[in-house]
Amino acid sequence: MSTENILIVEDEPVVALDLQQTLQEMGHQVCGIYTSMDAAIQGVETHQPSLVLMDIHLQGKGDGIEACQEIYEQWQLPVIFLTAYADEKTVRRAAIAKPFGYLTKPYNKKDLNAVIQVARSRHDAELALAKSEQKLAIAIEAAELGTWEWESQLDRLTGDERFRLIWGTGLQPFVAGLAAMLSRVHPDDLLGVEGTLQTLGFFKCEFRARRDSGEYAWLEMFGNLRIRSADQHIVIGALRDITPRKEMEERLRQASIVFSTISEAIMILNANGLVLSVNPSFSKLSGYSELEVINHPSQEYLINRREPIISYKNIALTSSGFWAGEVGCLCKNGDILQTLLHICTVRDQNGEVLQFVQTFSDISAIREAEHQLVHLAYHDPLTGLGNRYLLDQNLQSELVRAQSHGRTVAIMFIDLDGFKAINDSLGHHIGDRVIQESASRIVNQIRRHDEAIRLGGDEFVVMIPDVITQSEGFVVANKILKALSQPIQLDEQKLVIGASIGLAFFPQDGHELSDLLSAADSAMYEAKRQGKGRVCAYSSDLVENVRTRLNIEQGMHGALERNEFVLFYQPVVDLYESRLLGFEALIRWNHPEFGVLGPDKFIAIAEETGLIEPIGAWVLDTAVAQLKQWSVFGRSDLMMAVNASVRQFRGDAFLNQLKNVLKRHEINPKQLEIEITESMLQDFHSIRKMVQGMRELGVSVAIDDFGTGYSSLALLKHLPITRIKIDRSFIISLPGTARDVGLISAIMQMANSLELDVTAEGVETFDQSQILRTMGSPAVQGYFFAHPKAAEEYSADWIKRSSVNGFFIGEKRAD
């Protein structure tokens, strides 16, 4: 039996003392004896007893029942009534005060002991219950639970305030039944909730329920089903809103999917930089499994930082808690991948560092693309050689080095000869392959530390540092020249080109990069002027030649509009009858600065600049118009030969132009002869189509300067041309040797066998005319018969008389 600290409230002293003695004999302590209500309350406050023995009748104001109520309300102490009153009214009043015992006087010691023990047990039980209820209330509040109860007999649903807040105002307690609650459950979840509410014992479920706003919220329900009888089911449960948790779970699920599927590699580190977890992309990127990296420092996989190493501690100290930079990621196989690393600090609500999150983005492809872009910025994509930007950069550096060491640098400017005709006639795809092969040949002839550059088109520059004498530059240039002159075999075609090379030397020919390139360029043009296929070194007098060419090129723009071009006409003579067969139209340019220029001074430049097309159209129209005028003078049988450039043969424009000119001037197509060069025959299929089109119009087609190009007898056999014109270089050698005569005779025989007409150009002496006469050449032209002259120099009378046999013999005597 436990010892109690008891306070006695008794207005009769004798009884109080006897009670005190009895309690002490029972082993209890008496902390005080009081006779009134106020004194008793004061004594309880002072002594804090564990139990109070209270008489109902007390001295002064108030009785024991009132004192009992106040003591229990303030201190929850057990009070036992000891009284002589046992009437019904007193007992009823005493019951309201909820005493822990009621003992009437006189009492015996045994009853007093029993009532004290019962009171103590009840008080301990109430304290334990109160404490448990307090814990339960705290737990319910912390869990944000709303409690509820449902009885099947009454179909009455009751719940606390939080329950009503969760369900909404539409669910009124003591009015609504279970059906009202179930009506708000989402249709997809209703069957599961109904089944759960029929589960005997404890149950739990999650479902969606409609709020007053019409939106659905996620709820979690706990409960216990008890069956008292077949028709009496009681459910006691709790309910809470788990919408925020569900939304968080959804976000976590999404984050987990992102973590698992994102292409970037992710590392989660603890506050000390040790790996806690990695995603699949990290394993794929590095080759390490998650188990191989867990609890290892992340620095084991990060190397070659471009910035100084930043510790995680320093990152956490920054205001942003963030760092980004480029690092190398060490793979398991030893490879190093360039990655962009982001480090982010994760803190708790107090700002303390919890973790670090590292993400890796593989930027190897970006770096490779940057490398390629840099390469493309400084290299020619067709040949792989450096371009002008690389030349400017490297040549400038080389000049600085050469100047500081007293060295010489050779600059070589290379321009391919004959490339334009190939590119225009055979197409750019063939031209590109020729450029690639030429670039390869150039590279094969230079030293490892020399630099080959493609400027564009068919122009190349070679830089040769550390040249001791200028002869070394010439040796390399001639090697390149020889290599480029070798035939190029492309599929079934064999093409021959050449090159013109200009040389300039630092510091003799200039100290600046632009001066040296200009000097080498000038030397290259001089090589072309001298006949191509050669090497020329720069000299000061070349500047004037370059300046002249530039003036010609610039002056050609607008020359047509200014009527500066004029046509001269050279007669074509029947050698046997010495009469006029027709004319060849030859263009001249009345240059305002240089005077009358022959076609050799500007036609090549016109072809390079593309101006040859409008100029050629003007020549054709003017020549045919002149032929029409001479036809009025009685010579409707005259023919007119007009030269055509390869650029005019692109597409069907030239054929349409021919149709329009013939129609406009009403000329018989047989009177017009278009002259093409042998080099144009290399694109046989295109030329054949064009020649066939001209022949269908009735226009004659001649191969000009025959013997100087690359004609094939097989091509001539299948090409519907009508005439060949033997180049003057063969005629001028007559009478010459037997080989000279034999060569021309062979050409004549070949033409006869192919049923082609022949015109011999460049006849300047009587002996030459007689040799050609014996060979059977019917048509000739040259200075022996007449120089080219303007149209107005051929009078109407002269044109009329030119049809008479022997006319040119007389004319020659008249000269």
Q: Which two tokens stand for residue 352?
A: 């303390």
CATH number at residue 688: 3.20.20.450
Q: Last residue of a domain, which of 139, 161, 178?
A: 139
Residue 553 domain flag: no
Residue pointed to by tokens 């270089």: 729
CB atoms within 10 A of CB 806: 10
Distance CA 182, CA 153 (A): 17
Most confident of 105-109, 425-429, 678-682, 692-696: 692-696
Q: Residue 156 belongs to what H/E stretch?
A: strand 156-159
Residue 20 and residue 8 in contact, taking contact as beta carbons nearer than 8 Å = yes
Confidence of residue 105 (pLDDT cuts 50, 70, 90): confident
Confidence of residue 780 (pLDDT cuts 50, 70, 90): very high
- 523 and 587 share one domain: no
| Residue at 519: amino acid letter | A
Q: Between 23 and 649, whose confidence is greater?
A: 23
Total-model pTM: 0.45
Q: Residue 581 belongs to what H/E stretch?
A: strand 579-591
The pLDDT > 70 percentage for the chain reads: 94
pLDDT tens for 395-411 read: 888 888 888 887 889 99
Number of domains in the chain: 5
**pLDDT on residue 308:** 55
Residue 554 domain flag: no
Q: Is the peptide bond before 735 cis (omega within 30 degrees of 0)?
A: yes
CATH number at residue 13: 3.40.50.2300
Q: Which two tokens stand for residue 777?
A: 């050449």
CATH number at residue 198: 3.30.450.20
pLDDT at residue 169 above 80? Answer: no
Q: Last residue of a domain, which of 184, 213, 246?
A: 246
| Residue at 609: amino acid letter | T
DSSP 647: G
CATH number at residue 420: 3.30.70.270
Residue 251 domain flag: no
Distance CA 449, CA 407 (A): 15
Q: Which two tokens stand for residue 555?
A: 């002056």
**pLDDT on residue 1:** 59
CA distances from 512 to 397, 474, 519 (A): 11, 22, 11
- 134 and 147 share one domain: no
**CA gyration radius for the chain?**
59
pLDDT at residue 752 above 80? Answer: yes
- 667 and 784 share one domain: yes
Residue 529 and residue 578 in contact, taking contact as beta carbons nearer than 8 Å = no
Residue 13 domain flag: yes
Confidence of residue 172 (pLDDT cuts 50, 70, 90): low
Closest C-alpha among 79, 81, 82 to residue 122? 79
Residue 442 and residue 451 in contact, taking contact as beta carbons nearer than 8 Å = no
pLDDT at residue 432 above 80? Answer: yes
Q: Which two tokens stand for residue 349?
A: 């609500």
- 86 and 205 share one domain: no
Percentages (nearest 5) of helix, strand, coil residues in the chain: 45, 25, 30
| Residue at 380: amino acid letter | D
- 132 and 238 share one domain: no
- 421 and 515 share one domain: yes
Which residue segment(s) compose the domain that 359 sits in?
262-367
Please report how the helices 428-444 and 419-426 are oriented relative to each other, as an axis angle in degrees rounded to 10: 150
Distance CA 383, CA 458 (A): 11
Confidence of residue 544 (pLDDT cuts 50, 70, 90): low
Residue pointed to by tokens 């600059």: 411
- 53 and 124 share one domain: yes
Residue 471 domain flag: yes
What is the chain's mean pLDDT, rounded? 85
Confidence of residue 174 (pLDDT cuts 50, 70, 90): very low
- 126 and 174 share one domain: no
Confidence of residue 414 (pLDDT cuts 50, 70, 90): very high
Confidence of residue 813 (pLDDT cuts 50, 70, 90): very low
Residue 593 and residue 551 in contact, taking contact as beta carbons nearer than 8 Å = yes
Q: Locate all alpha helices (DSSP H) within 216-302, ordered by sequence.
A: 243-261, 280-286, 290-293
Distance CA 38, CA 464 (A): 123
**pLDDT on residue 536:** 92
**pLDDT on residue 30:** 92
Distance CA 413, CA 502 (A): 5
**pLDDT on residue 256:** 76
Average pLDDT of the segment spanning 470-477: 88
Residues whose CB falls within 8 Å of the CB of residue 787, separated by 6 or more in sequence, listed in order: 570
The phi, psi pair for 273, rounded to 5°, reads: 85, 15
- 284 and 218 share one domain: no
Residue 303 domain flag: yes
- 94 and 196 share one domain: no
Task: Give the chain's largest Cα–Cα span.
Answer: 188
Residue 784 domain flag: yes
- 685 and 741 share one domain: yes
Instruction: Output the CA torsion sign for 240, 246, 252, 253.
Output: positive
pLDDT tens for 366-385 read: 777 777 777 777 888 889 89
Distance CA 696, CA 690 (A): 10
Residue 765 domain flag: yes
Q: Last residue of a domain, which of 341, 367, 393?
A: 367
**pLDDT on residue 815:** 39
pLDDT tens for 115-163 read: 889 888 888 888 888 787 778 777 777 777 888 888 887 788 888 878 8
Q: What is the DSSP pairing of strand 579-591 with strand 595-597?
A: antiparallel
Contacts of 255-262 spanning 24+ positions with Cβ under 8 A:
none
- 273 and 195 share one domain: no
CA distances from 278 to 290, 328, 329, 640 (A): 6, 17, 14, 87
